[in-house]
A and B are shown apart, each in its own frame.
Chain A
Amino acid sequence: MNPRTLTRAAASLAALVLVAGAAHAQSLTGAGATFPYPLYSKWFDAYHEKKGVAINYQAIGSGAGIQQVKAGTVDFGASDAALSDAQLKDMPRRVLHVPTVAGAVVLAYNLPGFDGTVHLTPELVAGIYMGRITTWNDKRIAAANPGVALPAAPILAVHRSDGSGTTNIFTSYLAAVSGEWKDLVGAGTSVSWPSGVGGKGNDGVAGVVKQTPGAVGYVELAYAKQNQLPIALVRNRAGKYVEPSLASTSAAVDGAAAMLAKDVRTPIVNSPAPEAWPISGLTFLLVYQDIKDPTRARTLADFLDWAIHDGQEYAEALEYAKLPATVVKVNEGTLRLLTSGGRKLAAARE
């Protein structure tokens, strides 16, 4: 190859890159939550294939994701816990929450020699984690499990030792059903646990539960299913003992839709819907309402729109609960608020 051909080749290559760059607006970066990462990673692959937009996502944890959004180093953040009013105020500009999917948290237990399914009321769950109910044959547990004899084993309440969205959902639930929990412990990604032991990650909690007769611990639904752990049924707000599943999780989101329409950050735990699994929560993408660069704003808006519509189809295969139509509508309203340099973006979807 002589130098001239080489120059010409380079020039045409450069032109090609430029044209491609102008046609498909570039790439996006995001960072944050690890809980939805398997789904997000699937989304970004699929979206890259369909629209040619490369999305680079770092699953560094919700807290770090929020920091990155605040520093303006990413196009979007991801968090399992909605930002508090104080955190929102701390942001340099207005931040919007876009819930993407819902997850369920379940109670797995280890009771050797017990073949039935443990039934728990909200009061019992709170009592166990408060350290007030310490043996399985406690008469308060027996009252919720008529006709079965639970062993006299001591209860070991296992929690997540690492900060996590799972803990946020679980403690939000306890705070919603128990005034005592709300006053003494509260809800968050890490709390000051009044009793029990902590395991790191879903696998850490499941490991302790599997190892310790008498242990009960909370893990993500998908994790409990994959590891075939026995799961307790928990009585929901409507008074029914509901089996945790993707359907009952979506039902919980649907039951909370009216509250979400007012403020999408409202925890959806203890949902009033009759078929709802009560310990459920949403995971969010965090974006600035106004994005200076119009192409970037457009690309991000298009992706978010895809995620809350077409993207939902990927959720169930990966054990996440889809957003019900009511909440997709709430999201559509949120996306209409997006602006670039103060100017509204043209509607993405007609």
Chain B
Amino acid sequence: MSSGVVTPWSASARPIARRGRVRSDDVYRALLQLLGAVVLGIALLIVVECARGAQPAVRAFGWGFLVGTDWDPVAERFGALPYVWGTLVTSAIAMLLAVPIGVGAAAYLAELAPRMVGEVVSFVIELLASIPSIVYGVWGMFALAPWLRSILEPWLISHLGFLPLFQGFPFGLGILNAGIVLAIMVVPTVTSISREILRSMPRTLNEAALALGATRSEALAVTLDAARPGILGAVVLALGRALGETMAVTMVIGNSNRISASLLAPGATMASVIANEFTEATGKLYLSALIEIALVLFVLTLIVNALARLLVIWAVGGRRDVAGAA
């Protein structure tokens, strides 16, 4: 708003105009504030309700709940560690596989792909993102599991079986299967967001690198480095989906509450145990233990997101240094 020149007529006209504007602005602001508060309120309500529902379990097990390895509904002893473990390990496998593929595909689509090819690949990636998770589960169970059982897992056992990671029977279902299915599910998230980030990078960055005599791959590395915070954001979103994915994981992970070092062994995640056991959880303590798992999952997601934010801030800081030096 410009102020400065006060004319005789504006002095009398302005207050009226401002009063009108202020009123509508106030309404508008209040409305938006309300909508913003609703989002906060929903998140807060979820935490409060989970915390309230989890009270009996919290009182019975305390912090031991987080490190307890027993999950025995008959004896009413509950510990969440097998599920925390399963969630973290499957998500780690998923990210290990999905990030290189996703970022690589994004770099190809943004920088190298001919238009037609780029459009076809982008279309397929968006298609992957829109497939319901139960379809991934069915695919994991009926297509991936037989392949893992008859080809990949026997190979892993005979060649890398000296590692505890690859010991046991090749049954096809388990942590490894769940990790691979999750990876495929989150690749579209990584790819499509990274692609948009890379496209939004100034062309001058690339051109400057080329002008300085960089090869094409070196120029791409410069662009990728500049896009790092955005790509990290994409990875975090993908990780969020991997941590919380329920249906597909439940179908392929083998649902066992034992912690095993082997990736071939069955396991369970926090989301899968809730999906499995909530409807028939008859005891009060049992139900409350499941709600506490939900609370732990919520907090874990919160921590992961917070860490990712820090990572992005750190990455942006790094880029500023680069920019300053350049």
Contacts and interface: CB of A to CB of B under 8 A. Distances in A.
Interface of A: 60-64, 66, 79, 81, 87, 90, 154, 156, 161-165, 185-193, 196-200, 204, 207-208, 211-212
Interface string B137-178: 000011001100100000000000000000001011110000
B11 to A, nearest CB: 62
Contacts of A63: 278-282, 287
B279 to A, nearest CB: 3
Interface in B225-252: 250-251
Contacts of A199: 251, 255
Interface of B: 70-75, 141-142, 145-146, 149, 169, 171-174, 250-251, 254-257, 266, 268, 272, 275-284, 287
B250 A200 contact: yes
Contact of B279 (A64, A186, A198): A64
Given A62-B282, A87-B282, A200 B73 contact: no
Those 10 A-B pairs whose CB atoms lie nearest each other, nearest first: A163-B280, A198-B255, A61-B279, A161-B255, A186-B74, A197-B254, A192-B72, A197-B266, A63-B282, A189-B280
29 contacts: A63-B278, A63-B279, A63-B287, A64-B279, A81-B282, A87-B282, A156-B169, A163-B73, A163-B282, A164-B280, A165-B280, A186-B74, A190-B281, A191-B74, A192-B71, A192-B72, A192-B74, A192-B75, A196-B266, A197-B171, A198-B255, A198-B268, A200-B251, A204-B251, A207-B142, A208-B141, A211-B142, A211-B145, A212-B172
B255 A192 contact: no
A87 B282 CA distance: 9
A61 B255 contact: no
Given A190-B73, A193-B257, A162 B171 contact: no
Contacts of B254: 197-198
* Most chain A CB atoms below 10 A, which of B75, B169, B255, B275: B255
> Main SS of the interface on chain B?
loop
A77 to B, nearest CB: 11
Given A192-B72, A198-B266, A200-B276, A66 B171 contact: no
Given A154-B169, A161-B255, A211-B145, A61 B280 contact: yes
Contacts of A198: 254-256, 266, 268, 276
B73 A188 contact: yes
Contact of B171 (A61, A188, A190, A212): A212
A154 B154 CA distance: 14
A196 B70 CA distance: 16
B265 to A, nearest CB: 9
A20 B255 CA distance: 52
Given A197-B255, A198-B256, A199-B255, 19 more contacts: A60-B279, A66-B282, A87-B283, A154-B169, A156-B169, A162-B275, A162-B277, A186-B75, A189-B73, A190-B73, A191-B73, A192-B72, A192-B75, A196-B256, A196-B266, A197-B174, A211-B142, A211-B145, A212-B173
A190 B251 contact: no
A193 B73 contact: no
Contacts of A188: 73-74, 282
A193 B280 contact: no
Given A63-B279, A163-B277, A192 B145 contact: no
A38 B250 CA distance: 25
Contacts of B172: 211-212
A204 B145 CA distance: 13
Contacts of A193: 256-257
Nearest to A208: B173
A190 B290 CA distance: 13
A277 B278 CA distance: 30
A160 B305 CA distance: 34
Contacts of A196: 256, 266
A331 B257 CA distance: 39
* Most chain A CB atoms below 10 A, which of B70, B74, B172: B74
A320 to B, nearest CB: 19
Nearest to B250: A200
Given A61-B279, A197-B266, A198-B255, A156 B74 contact: no
